[in-house]
């Protein structure tokens, strides 16, 4: 087994991982970045709509500022966010957008003069001022008071990812693809790196480092209906949870996006609704304004997904061979707009649905999209439980999103958090030395080899890994989707325990040699079921409705008892997660209140229980 050394090991080459790498490399440290796919194919590239930052450049963003962005973010989180982190994020985002422009991101820019925009299908006039010509412009996104989502048509993630990868190349950062970390090397107190499997040859290597950052994205692929790519299967969360020392934060906080296309669940950006698209029912009537008169289609994602589901439950969904759906209408935006600012949506509709979005309606329904859950870290990105382990991006629960993230905030988080946490890692490396225990490294490698041998030989059994994964996905769709309730969650947990037992008896139909995707799934399936159980147990225990976590049997948001963050641990040898709790925010710049959309009753917290900081917040 080969051994590789560096100052910093970054697991995951998406935007947060490469942004951390850039920051550490600029500080003079040696960095190795590992990715299971070529970096530019990371799931960050799939992000379409844009990045939120309060630049206030365009006419509809006038008077925007970080304070207004902060208000939107905390309200969007349904007061589940760490407000210290949210404040750092909104203050830093404008700086980061300008830095990305300097590095080469081709942001759409303000074009002065008269133009038009759509809201609720109606056409309105706006005038962009001459003195703002050429500045970074923005579009409207859900749950925001101002237009602040910076974009490059509807290919923002791709544009920023290419720019970031170029920056890594300029700095000589060692980015290695087709490599998957299958275990962290640790002694229960300190992380020393990871055991890594080559996806080309199947060989194992040890990557040792003074600091390790997990930036592997989300775990949407444990759901059957998801917008996530096949690589988003929770690999980073699994190796962290397997340590027994590192918790997953808020596992029950799973976001469902309103507009996954039917039947493939590929995302069409919120930019469609931000640019004026509308949602229609089986009668081709708009309906969101009935439920949400103020925000309509541009309420936050948890609210729109919930309202769409409610509307379909009333029998107003469109029947299809793939289940009920609704329509997204962008026809009125016109050929020029669709061909330029929504060109990826245009291509998705053409190649995956065989329709022309200029003249035809797009079939959509809520689908799993994002995990607010993640490896729990402090505000510096340091993971709970192990010194030397960090995390950022969707892999982390940093936690600026709470129980619902706003569209455009997560893509911005990748680079904003990456920059902040990368600087903190560089600071950490400046004063942190370790001694690598070769016995510990050999033991970790031997354990990984034994796991692989047992799966390949069928020692533990011959369960089909794909059938086991399918059972996991179906259980979560039935019990942990947009709406949840006690009986369904209990049934889900019972089913997942059966699936968990089956996951320990997985064998291969193939020989397991070389680049073997079946073995790759088999190595992760037990951990994927663990994540599913963390979601279900966390959702059953949280007897309230907050953001994306909607309990039909507990419809109130309960600030009195549940202004908390869930921490799910999985001790070695345990059959279920251990749940602990901490305050959702150490301080409250914005005391809990009404979101202004979404409805529902609130059981208020005792003001004496909140640590408030005095700050005059605009907006």
The predicted structure's pLDDT at residue 619: 53
In 3D, which of 40, 32, 156, 67 has the Cα closest to residue 410? 156
Q: Cα dihedral angle (356, 359, 363, 368), rounded to 10 degrees?
A: 70
Mean pLDDT of 474-495: 97
The predicted structure's pLDDT at residue 513: 84
Q: List, for residues 153-206, the tens digit of each pLDDT value.
A: 999 999 999 999 999 999 999 999 999 999 999 999 999 999 999 999 999 999
Average pLDDT along the chain: 95
Say how far apart CA 288 and CA 307 lie, in whole Å: 7
Q: Which of 237, 273, 325, 337 is an active site residue?
A: 273
The predicted structure's pLDDT at residue 618: 56
For residue 73, give Cα distances in angstroms to 93, 178, 294, 310: 13, 36, 18, 25
For residue 9, give Cα distances in angstroms to 3, 20, 195: 13, 10, 11
Q: List, for residues 580-599, the tens digit of each pLDDT value.
A: 999 999 999 999 999 999 99
For residue 267, give Cα distances in angstroms to 138, 140, 252, 257, 331: 20, 18, 22, 8, 18
Mean pLDDT of 421-439: 94
In 3D, which of 261, 271, 231 has the Cα closest to residue 348? 261
Which is higher by pLDDT, 599 or 487?
Answer: 487
Say how far apart CA 151 and CA 159 lie, in whole Å: 9
pLDDT band at 617 (very low <50, low <70, confident <90, very high): low
Say how far apart CA 148 and CA 136 lie, in whole Å: 10
pLDDT over 90 at 114, yes or no = yes
Dihedral pair phi/psi, residue 284, rounded to 5°: 60, 35
Mean pLDDT of 480-503: 98
Cβ neighbour number for residue 356 with a 10 Å cutoff: 13
Q: Which of 237, 257, 401, 557 is an active site residue?
A: 257
Cβ neighbour number for residue 560 with a 10 Å cutoff: 15
Helices and strands, number each (H, E), in the chain: 16, 26
For the chain, percent of residues with pLDDT exceeding 70:
99
pLDDT band at 3 (very low <50, low <70, confident <90, very high): very high
Mean pLDDT of 17-30: 98
Q: Which residues of 28-51 are buried (b: 16+ CB within 10 A; e: fewer)?
A: ebbbbbbbbbebbbbbbbbbbbbb
Say how far apart CA 600 and CA 555 lie, in whole Å: 7
Dihedral pair phi/psi, residue 588, rounded to 5°: -120, 105
| Range list of β-strands (E), 302-435 | 326-329, 362-371, 374-376, 389-391, 396-397
| Range list of β-strands (E), 149-294 | 149-150, 174-176, 179-186, 191-198, 204-214, 248-249, 254-261, 278-280
The predicted structure's pLDDT at residue 612: 79
Cβ neighbour number for residue 95 with a 10 Å cutoff: 12
Q: List, for residues 179-189, the tens digit of each pLDDT value.
A: 999 999 999 99
Residue 421 burial (10 A CB sphere; 0-12, 13-18, 19+):
buried
| Range list of β-strands (E), 372-407 | 374-376, 389-391, 396-397
Q: List, for residues 347-366, the tens digit of each pLDDT value.
A: 999 999 999 999 999 999 99
Q: Facing residues of 211 across strands?
A: 8
pLDDT band at 614 (very low <50, low <70, confident <90, very high): low
Q: List, for residues 216-245, the tens digit of each pLDDT value.
A: 999 999 999 999 999 999 999 999 999 999
Q: Which residues of 55-68 are buried (b: 16+ CB within 10 A; e: fewer)?
A: bbbbbbbeebbbbb
3-state secondary structure 521-538: HHHHHHHHHHHHHHHHHH
What is the C-alpha radius of gyration for the chain, rounded to an integer number of angstroms?
A: 23
What sign does the CA torsion over 226, 227, 228, 230 have? positive
DSSP string, 489-521: HHHHHHHHHHHHHHHTTEE-SS---SS-HHHHH
Q: At the topology level of CATH, where does 258-367 sit? A: Flavocytochrome C3; Chain A, domain 1 (3.90.700)
Q: Is 551 a catalytic residue?
A: no
pLDDT over 90 at 93, yes or no = yes
pLDDT band at 608 (very low <50, low <70, confident <90, very high): confident
115 Cβ contact list (under 8 Å, min separation 6):
125, 126, 127, 128
Q: List, for residues 534-567, the tens digit of each pLDDT value.
A: 999 999 999 999 999 999 999 999 999 999 999 9
Place of tokens 């790759």: 520
Which secondary structure element, helix H or strand E, spans residue 569, and what is its range?
strand 564-569
Q: Is 509 a catalytic residue?
A: no
User: Chain centroid to CA 401: how far?
Assistant: 10
The predicted structure's pLDDT at residue 9: 98
What sign does the CA torsion over 21, 378, 612, 405 have? positive
């Amino acid at each position: 087994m080969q051994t590789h050394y560096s100052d910093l090991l970054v697991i995951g080459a998406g935007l947060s991982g490469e942004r951390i790498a850039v920051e550490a490399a600029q500080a003079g440290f040696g960095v190795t970045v590992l990715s299971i796919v070529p970096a530019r194919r990371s799931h960050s590239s799939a992000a379409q709509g844009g990045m939120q930052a309060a630049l206030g450049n365009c006419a509809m963003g006038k008077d925007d500022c970080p304070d207004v962005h902060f208000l939107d973010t905390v309200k969007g989180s349904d007061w589940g966010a760490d407000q210290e982190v949210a404040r750092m994020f909104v203050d830093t985002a404008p700086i980061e957008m300008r830095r990305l422009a300097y590095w080469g991101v081709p942001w759409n820019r303000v074009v002065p003069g008269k133009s038009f925009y759509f809201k609720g299908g109606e056409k309105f006039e706006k005038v962009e001022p001459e003195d703002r010509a050429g500045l970074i412009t923005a579009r409207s996104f859900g749950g925001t008071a101002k237009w602040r989502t910076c974009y490059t048509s509807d290919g923002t993630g791709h544009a920023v990812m290419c720019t970031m990868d170029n920056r890594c190349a300029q700095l000589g950062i060692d980015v290695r693809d087709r490599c998957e970390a299958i275990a962290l090397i640790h002694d229960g107190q300190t992380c020393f790196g990871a055991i890594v499997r080559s996806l080309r040859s199947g060989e194992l290597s040890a990557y040792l480092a003074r600091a390790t950052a997990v930036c592997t994205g989300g775990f949407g692929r444990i759901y059957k209906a998801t917008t996530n790519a096949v690589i988003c299967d929770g690999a980073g969360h699994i190796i962290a949870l397997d340590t027994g020392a590192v918790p997953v934060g808020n596992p029950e906080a799973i976001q469902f996006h309103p507009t996954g296309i039917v039947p493939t669940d590929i995302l069409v950006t919120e930019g469609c609704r931000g640019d004026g698209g509308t949602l229609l029912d089986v009668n081709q009537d708009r309906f969101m304004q009935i439920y949400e008169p103020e925000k309509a289609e541009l309420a936050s994602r948890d609210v729109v997904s919930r309202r769409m589901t409610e509307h379909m439950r009333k029998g107003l969904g469109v029947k299809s061979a793939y289940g009920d759906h609704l329509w997204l209408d962008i026809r009125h935006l016109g050929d020029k707009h669709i061909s330029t600012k929504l060109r990826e949506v245009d291509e998705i509709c053409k190649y995956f649905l065989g329709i022309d979005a200029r003249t035809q309606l797009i079939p959509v329904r809520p689908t799993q999209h994002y995990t607010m859950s993640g490896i729990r870290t402090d505000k510096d990105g340091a993971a709970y439980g192990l010194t030397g382990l960090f995390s950022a991006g969707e892999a982390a629960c940093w936690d600026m999103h709470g129980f619902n993230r706003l569209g455009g905030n997560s893509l911005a988080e990748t680079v904003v958090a990456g920059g902040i946490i990368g600087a903190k890692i560089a600071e950490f490396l400046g004063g942190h030395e370790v001694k690598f225990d070769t016995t510990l490294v050999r033991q970790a490698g031997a354990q990984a080899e034994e796991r692989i041998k047992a799966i390949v030989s069928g020692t533990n059994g011959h369960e089909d890994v794909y059938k086991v994964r399918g059972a996991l996905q179906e259980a979560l769709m039935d019990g942990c989707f947009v709406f949840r309730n006690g009986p369904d969650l209990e049934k889900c947990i019972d089913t997942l325990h059966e699936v968990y037992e089956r996951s320990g008896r997985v064998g291969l139909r193939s020989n397991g040699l070389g680049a073997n995707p079946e073995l790759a799934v088999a190595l992760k399936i037990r951990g994927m079921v663990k994540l599913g159980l963390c979601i279900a147990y966390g959702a059953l225990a949280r007897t309230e409705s907050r953001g994306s976590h909607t309990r039909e049997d507990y419809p109130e948001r309960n600030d009195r008892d549940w202004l908390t963050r869930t921490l799910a641990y999985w001790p070695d040898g345990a059959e279920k997660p251990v749940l602990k709790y901490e305050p959702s925010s150490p301080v409250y710049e914005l005391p809990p209140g009404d979101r202004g959309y979404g409805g529902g009753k609130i059981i208020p917290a005792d003001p004496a229980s909140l640590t408030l900081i005095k700050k005059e917040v605009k907006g």
